[in-house]
Amino acid sequence: MFEKTVAELSRALGRKEFSSAELTTVFLERISRYQNLNAFITVDPERSLAQAKAADVRIARGEGGALTGIPVAQKDIFCADGWLTTCGSKILSNFTAPYDATVIDKLNRAGAVCLGKTNMDEFAMGSSNETSYYGVVKNPWNPETVPGGSSGGSAAAVAARLAPAATGTDTGGSIRQPAALTGLSGLKPSYGRVSRYGMIAFASSLDQGGPLCRTAEDCAWLLNAMAGFDARDSTSVDAPVPDYTKTLDQKIEGLRIGLPKEYFGEGLNPEIAQVIQAAIGEFKQLGAQVLEVSLPNSQLAIPCYYVLAPAEASSNLSRYDGARYGFRASDYKDLLDMYCKTRAEGFGPEVKRRIMIGTYALSAGYYDAYYLKAQQLRRLIAEDFRRAFEVCDVIMGPTSPSTAFKIGEKTDDPVAMYLNDIYTVPINLAGLPGMSVPAGFDARGLPIGLQLIGKYFDEARLLNVAHRYQQVTDWHQRTPKGFS
């Protein structure tokens, strides 16, 4: 059962080949067996099985939908009523959410079963899942390497077949980069397509929730449930949501693929470049046209992002002071001392680094020089994409400049760590949809991801293009050794 995709499991549940309770039990047993990956922070078998049994009742009555009875792992950044919700941080290590995030609520209404809350970089700040208070997550393809971040726990869980699908969030690549490093399909929707209500904020103008699955088809099924307007989220876009599964099989003859010349220069691993070119060749065989485009300001994306995101984080994380909820330091003299000690003890080094950078960028005398300038660069980056999409339908390139690196290899070099997001960050700055799909492996047997970038709210085209690619390749069907 654990080798089946979401689509296959849904059809099998509909045929009553097995029950949701039986299916959920299989995945709970695998989660327990492979705890060495450290993919989960919280698991509650009793609660999960209760949901599964309720789903079985719905299916028996003929009331089930596409996701009814399907187990889904939830990134521990989404508030879930009655579940410990830590955001991978000590400062929220005792916080039990009193309500459901919109994403959780939508999946619950669809009948999905929550398998548990997955590990993540603290407050989604990281590209390797090494900053979590709960320890490093290991990549199933090689436990000595990272799974990517910040949605590394979700990625490791799906890659190791501990869950058929998982939710993630993407602020600068945190769905697509771990998808690439673990051989999965991961989709970051357009900004505003999926509600951020109940999703613990890192950088509010960049954060976006999305699915991590084995196939593009599965991503379409999950996005159908997750997407939609939410009046509780002021950044949610009130726009029609199509059925993303309806257009998966459309032919892509005549599709115009843009290849940014800036994405294939210095810094890209030659093995990855070769794999991406081979993937482009598959699209040519399917009738697509390929042309070169230019994104001249893409090299400015990393410095731009690492001014804007920390600035927003500095503001968002000011609420964690020990006064209302979460961790509180035990030994303090007065209120100010409590604030200082709580934050000093409750936040990890990377979170502190970004708060300090953001506070500096917003401070008097530096706002115009840093924050305002970064916002101007952001506009130029978005404008680059607008011009590129005048001549192409989809932009393609690598998801990450390298495959999974060893645990601890880049922890002492923040700049080297940040550069892992060089191909993903521009998409968040522009608010565009982006997706990573498996495209091959390097000489060490580590997965390589192909990134697809679409026009605003054109997720249906990305899913269609990815699905057609997966119909003629089998990279998405590979399973890490020891987990099949």
Catalytic residues, by residue number, are: 75, 150, 174
Cα separation, 5 vs 381, whole angstroms? 36
Q: Is 442 helix (H, G, I), strand (E, B) or coil?
A: coil
Asked whether the beta carbons of 171 and 309 are under 8 A apart, the reply is yes
* Segment (H or E) for 291: strand 289-293
* Segment (H or E) for 281: helix 270-285
Cα separation, 281 vs 461, whole angstroms? 19
Cα separation, 39 vs 145, whole angstroms? 14
Q: Is 243 helix (H, G, I), strand (E, B) or coil?
A: coil
Separation of CA 80 from chain center: 18
Tell me the pairing of strands 434-441 and 447-453.
antiparallel
* Segment (H or E) for 351: helix 349-362
Sign of CA dihedral 451, 452, 453, 459: negative
- Residue among 326, 330, 339 at smallest CA distance from 84: 326
- Residue among 163, 154, 118, 222 at smallest CA distance from 23: 163
Task: Give me the residues paired with residue 42 across strands.
Answer: 117
Asked whether the beta carbons of 145 and 407 are under 8 A apart, the reply is yes
Q: Is 441 helix (H, G, I), strand (E, B) or coil?
A: strand
Task: Give me the residues paired with residue 293 across strands.
Answer: 260
